[in-house]
A and B are shown apart, each in its own frame.
Chain A
């Protein structure tokens, strides 16, 4: 029986990955910080084992790795909300980049057979010079979050090349789900639309409606993470849908699902328009399709519908 340690298990991706690995018969351990909200893993509590630790605390990571002796370690923990990265840039680097360095050192020195997965981000492309972006596209990160992720990305490569650690990175494009925190725009919209439907709110304030992203469904993405760890050789992959949709598209689908017209409720607010909005981040998934035989199973429309209907269920109660 394989054993996996998921760092960041209580988050969106961590909880979906835990479900997937349990299905595949893994023994699943999760690392999380104290006081983290457990709602995403409440339903798995009896099947997984939780260990408390923090990416900033090397000792806690080392203890966890030595206790679990994982065959696969997935690092899905990060401070991932971009606007916050301008408020706390040093903390973000400590967690997102040095945290990876700590994990890689522990694997190198104490558990060299453990395979390591790192969730990199399409934000590393920032202002890309080509579209779509592939594994060969040059990086130009635009904010402390993206810079910290790039730092980690190259550390993963360094440890792979120098020490032969089985370490790989997925360059994940935006991926959403019913478990996406509400400060992210997709969930903000589905929750907002439901609140309007239920008469709890009258308006939904958003930034740039024309802003376009490559949005996929989180459970599809964690499946790609698992596939990457089953390859003979560690390698990096772009994981995306290869399709662009606008914030307006999210609004349309979410409101229509609830029988509403978004035009009557959505208000554009300047303060939500992001500094340095990245342009046309669109992933090319040729390599992932070819080598991992991976492609997304849930379409954009299905995803937004799922999210809106889920929010309706929850908020009705």
Chain B
């Protein structure tokens, strides 16, 4: 039985990945930080099937102990301070967790289990001010937020360790991926939740930033399968994972209102400068050709299905 350790198991991706690995008969360990609020709602339904290990990316020694305990064949590093606006107000904390945390984990791997296969969650935010469109594994990086910068460091340090110590370490450059488990501070979930609450008369307005901002949005449940596939290859390589389609915030909004049967959505939506990003990333759209060819991976959920899934789940929750 293969053993996997997931950091960030209580997050959106971690919870989907845990489900996926359980379905493949893995023994699943999750690294969790001690906290006065447990934050286990995303993995509540699988708590009996997984094993939680205490540890923190800020604490080198805790990682060593977690690896000794879990004895993993595969490690998925999905933990990060991942909210871009917060990275502007807390750049150092973001750097400590999202960047230095990767180095700490790689150091722990080097000393405890150098044969392990390591997955690092890189991000399309590393492309930032994009140099070409769509973006592939060969596109140069130009991050525009402390989050993107920290992720880029994590990306390079993973490659540094792979090349210098021959570790099986890969980075998946994942474009935006959403789900009903997305945190409410992210725009897709903010929209799905607000649309439902407007439908139910619990909320009057939805205030957004730039309606024309475009992203390549996929379903997180599809993306975690790509992570797993990357670690089943013969050689460690990096892959871009995305849908290859871009949609605007406006598209997301109109689709979401359509699901609840509201046509005159403009009545409810306002824009505010408060939500505009100081330095907006542009034309983020993936070229997932390589993942399709080598991993045989492609997204199974369409944009419309994704919006519908998110709105319907929130409708259930809010009723």
Contact = CB atoms under 8 A, between A and B. Distances in A.
Nearest to B60: A90
Contact of A98 (B92, B107, B142, B156): B92
Interface residues of B, number: 31
Interface string B46-73: 0000000000000010000000000000
B149 A147 contact: no
Contacts of A58: 92
B153 A148 contact: yes
A180 B230 CA distance: 45
Given A150-B152, A162-B278, A155 B99 contact: no
A232 to B, nearest CB: 21
A101 B153 contact: no
A146 B160 CA distance: 10
Contact of B160 (A97, A143, A155): A143
A158 B145 contact: yes
A31 B239 CA distance: 43
Contacts of A101: 91-92, 95, 146
B143 A161 contact: no
Contact of B163 (A104, A157, A162, A276): A276
Interface in A134-171: 138-144, 146-148, 150-151, 154-155, 157-158, 161-163
B37 to A, nearest CB: 27
A161 B279 contact: yes
Contacts of B153: 93, 97, 147-148, 150-151
Contacts of A93: 95, 99-100, 103, 153, 157
A86 B160 CA distance: 10
A154 B153 CA distance: 10
B164 A275 contact: yes
Interface residues of A, number: 33
Nearest to B140: A138
Nearest to A92: B103
Contacts of B42: none
Interface string B91-118: 1100110011001101100000000000
Contacts of A138: 140-141
**Chain B binding surface SS class:** helix
A89 interface: yes
Contact of A154 (B60, B96, B149, B160): B149
A90 B104 contact: yes
B150 interface: yes
A105 interface: yes
B182 interface: no
Nearest to B155: A147
A137 to B, nearest CB: 9
B292 interface: no
A46 B57 CA distance: 45
B3 interface: no
B181 interface: no
Contact of A155 (B91, B96, B107, B157): B91
B88 interface: yes
A94 interface: yes
Given A147-B153, A276-B163, A90 B88 contact: no
A163 B99 contact: no
B290 interface: no
B298 to A, nearest CB: 28
B199 interface: no
B144 interface: yes
A102 interface: yes
B156 A155 contact: no
A142 B96 CA distance: 21
B103 A162 contact: no
Given A98-B95, A105-B91, A142 B100 contact: no
B219 to A, nearest CB: 30
Contacts of A86: 164
A276 B100 contact: no
B206 to A, nearest CB: 26
A151 B99 contact: yes
A89 B92 contact: no
B207 to A, nearest CB: 21
A147 B158 CA distance: 10
Interface string B158-174: 00100110000000000
A295 to B, nearest CB: 28
Contact of A144 (B88, B103, B141, B143): B103
A89 B149 contact: no
Contacts of A94: 100
Contact of B95 (A97, A139, A150): A97
Contacts of B143: 154, 158
A276 B164 contact: yes
A142 B160 contact: yes
Contacts of A157: 144
Contacts of A276: 163-164
14 contacts: A86-B164, A101-B146, A141-B156, A144-B103, A144-B157, A147-B160, A154-B149, A155-B91, A158-B143, A158-B144, A158-B146, A162-B145, A162-B279, A275-B164
6 nearest A-B pairs in the assembled complex, by CB-CB distance = A138-B140, A162-B278, A151-B153, A147-B156, A154-B149, A161-B279
Interface of B: 60, 88, 91-92, 95-96, 99-100, 103-104, 106-107, 140-146, 148-150, 152-153, 156-157, 160, 163-164, 278-279
